[in-house]
A = this chain, B = another copy of it.
Amino acid sequence: MKYKMNLAELKMFLLDKDNIDELLEKIDFIHPMDLLDIIHSENNQVIQTILNRLPDDYLAQLLDFEKDEAKYKLLKQFSIDKQKNILNEMSSDEITDLIDTLNNKEKNDVLSKLSNKHQLEINQLLAYIPDSAGSIMAYEFISIRANKTVLKTLEFLQTEAKDADMAYYLYVTDKVGHLKGVVSLRDIISSSFDTKISSITNTNIFSVHVDDDQEEVAMMFDKYDYVMLPVVDNEGIIVGIITVDDIIDIIKEETTEDIHLMAGLDSEEKVDGSLFNSIKSRLPWLSVNLITALIAASVVSYYSNTIQSIVALAAISPIITGMGGNAGNQSMTIVVRGIALNELTKENAWRIFFKELGVGIIIGLFIGTIVGVACMYFYQTPLLGLVAGVSIMANLIIATVSGFSVPIILKKCHVDPALASSIFVTTATDVLGFFIFLSLATLCLPYLI
Contact = CB atoms under 8 A, between A and B. Distances in A.
A120 interface: no
Interface in A150-188: 154, 157-162, 164, 166-168, 185-186, 188
A415 interface: no
Tell me if A's interface is mostly helix, strand, loop or mixed.
Answer: helix
29 contacts: A1-B206, A1-B207, A30-B204, A31-B206, A154-B189, A158-B189, A158-B190, A159-B190, A161-B189, A167-B186, A168-B168, A168-B185, A227-B244, A260-B333, A272-B351, A272-B352, A275-B358, A275-B362, A282-B363, A283-B366, A285-B330, A286-B367, A290-B319, A290-B370, A296-B322, A297-B319, A298-B315, A300-B315, A314-B314
Given A4-B203, A271-B334, A224 B31 contact: yes
B189 A189 contact: yes
Given A222-B252, A348-B272, A337 B260 contact: yes
B319 A158 contact: no
Nearest to A188: B189
Q: So how many copies of this chain end up in the complex?
A: 2
Contact of A286 (B1, B300, B327): B327
Q: Which 10 A-B pairs have the closest CB atoms?
A: A271-B338, A263-B333, A314-B314, A300-B315, A225-B245, A29-B204, A161-B190, A293-B319, A301-B315, A29-B202
Interface in A118-169: 154, 157-162, 164, 166-168
Interface in A275-310: 275, 278-279, 282-283, 285-287, 289-290, 292-294, 296-298, 300-301, 304, 307-308
A374 B293 CA distance: 12
Interface in A190-206: 190-192, 202-206
A333 B259 contact: yes
Interface stretch (A46-54, A102-110, A208-216): A208-216
Given A29-B203, A271-B344, 12 more contacts: A158-B189, A259-B262, A259-B337, A265-B333, A271-B352, A272-B344, A272-B348, A286-B363, A287-B367, A290-B371, A292-B322, A294-B319
Nearest to A204: B29
